[in-house]
Amino acid sequence: MVIGLTGNIGTGKSLVAEFFKNWGAFLISGDQIGWEVLKNSDIKEKVRNTFGEKIIKDNNVDRERLGSIVFKDTNKLMKLNEIVHPVLLKKLRKTISESNEDIIVVDAALIFEWGIKDWFDYTVLTISKLSNIKSRLKKLGISDEIIDGTLKSQMSPEKAKIYADFIIVNNGSKRELKEKAQKVWDKILR
């Protein structure tokens, strides 16, 4: 069984992914694959050619600097996505297909944007109030500009709800989130 876990930045998606992993799922991180793709020499060169030499630090793409550029400018984000997403999706598909685990959870913010819902037996969406999202991300030192730009680049919760099989609303404590995740997990396993 393959479960797609998605949701906007700051909604608790990665925490739910960890719960699912602790309950026996094999976890595949879309972010992790994206970071691996950025280490690919061809991709790194395309990113350098598109965004300039300043984007390279210690012979790697400086993800923080890249994020501060692309999440402020929709056109630049689209250019980055054109470079990275085809390779990322190919690698993601391969990772899923080569896994022989009983339950696979793919943690990726852009499942619905990529149009890959049909890759999954179930999709789980985490959502949260905007004030909670901003509060969580500010505690991590993320600026309003980056938060707003990132959220703008992701599907709205209202639209994402249409595609999701299960929705976990995260506006409370970590314990409450775990309880909600457990209920969804139990339903999926049934």
Task: Give all domains of the chain, ordered by start, each with its CATH number.
Answer: 2-189 (3.40.50.300)
Q: Is 38 in contact with 47 (CB distance < 8 Å)?
A: yes
pLDDT for residue 64: 83
pLDDT for residue 149: 83
pLDDT for residue 164: 97
32 sits in the region (left: phi over 0; alpha: psi -120 to 50; else beta) called alpha
**For residue 157, what are the contacts with CB-CB under 8 A and spacing of at least 6?**
7, 8, 125, 127
Q: pLDDT tens for the chain, 190 residues: list them.
A: 999 999 999 999 999 999 999 999 999 999 999 999 999 999 999 999 999 989 999 999 998 888 888 888 888 989 999 999 999 999 999 999 999 999 999 999 999 999 999 999 999 999 999 999 999 998 988 888 888 888 888 899 999 999 999 999 999 999 999 999 999 999 999 8
Instruction: Please give the model's pTM, rounded to 2 decimal places.
Output: 0.90
H-helix segments, 13-143: 13-22, 30-39, 41-51, 63-70, 74-98, 111-114, 130-139
For residue 16 the two structure tokens come to 């739910």
For residue 188 the two structure tokens come to 């999926």
**CA end-to-end span of the chain:** 12
Residue appearing with tokens 């350098």 = 48
Burial 158-171 (b: 16+ CB within 10 A, else e): eebeeebbbbbbbe
**For residue 187, what are the contacts with CB-CB under 8 A and spacing of at least 6?**
166
